Amino acid sequence: MKQISFFFQCKVNPLSLLLNKILLFSTIKFLLILINLYLLLPQMVPIYRGALLTIAIALLLTSVIAIVKSNSKLQRIANITMSYFLAIISVLVFVYLISAFLSLTGTFGLEQLLRNYLEYAKLLYFFICVVQNIVLPIPEAATIIAGSAVFGSFHAFVIGLAGTLIGVSTMFFLTRYGGSKLIAKLINEKHLTYYHQLVQKNETLYLFTLFIVPILPDEIVCIGAGLSKMSIKKFLMIAIISKLVTTFIYSYSIQLVTLLSLTTSQITLILSTMMIVLFFLTLIKKKSS
Q: DSSP states of 145-204 as a string?
A: HHHHHHH-HHHHHHHHHHHHHHHHHHHHHHHHHH-HHHHHTTS-HHHHHHHHHHHSS-HH
C-beta neighbour count of 91 within 10 angstroms = 10
Contact 133, 164 (CB under 8 A): yes
**Taking each helix axis from N to C terminus, what angle separates 203-212 and 218-227, rounded to the nearest 10 degrees?**
160
What pLDDT sits at residue 6? Answer: 46
Percent of the chain with pLDDT over 90: 11
Residue 81 pLDDT more than 80? yes
pLDDT at 35 over 90: no
Cα separation of 32 and 208, whole Å?
A: 40
pLDDT over threshold 90, residue 278? no
pLDDT: is 249 or 268 the higher one?
249
Give the span between the Cα atoms of 136 and 79, in whole angstroms. Answer: 32
Percentage of the chain modeled with pLDDT above 70: 63
Give pLDDT, residue 165. Answer: 94
CA gap 111, 90 in Å, rounded? 28
pLDDT at 245: 87
Q: What is the pLDDT of residue 164?
A: 93
DSSP code of residue 213: S
Q: Which pLDDT score, from 0 to 100, does residue 31 have?
A: 86
Q: How confident is the model at residue 166 (pLDDT cuts 50, 70, 90)?
A: very high
238-254 pLDDT tens trace: 999 999 988 988 888 76
What local confidence, expressed as pLDDT, does residue 4 receive?
Answer: 46
- Cα torsion for 102, 247, 182, 95, to the nearest 10°? -20
Residue 282 has what pLDDT?
59
Q: Name residue 111's amino acid.
A: E
Residue with the larger pLDDT of the pair 228 and 184 = 228
Residue 233 or residue 69, greater confidence: 233
Closest CA to 143 of 15, 24, 254: 254
Which range has the worst mean pLDDT, 14-18, 58-62, 226-230, 260-264? 14-18
Mean pLDDT of the chain: 75
**Of 95, 115, 113, nearest to 104 (Cα)?**
113
pLDDT tens readout for residues 130-147: 988 887 767 788 888 888
What pLDDT score was predicted for residue 76?
Answer: 81
Cα separation of 28 and 90, whole Å?
14
Q: Which has more confidence, 10 or 184?
A: 184
230 DSSP 8-state letter = -
Whether the predicted pLDDT of 158 surpasses 90: yes
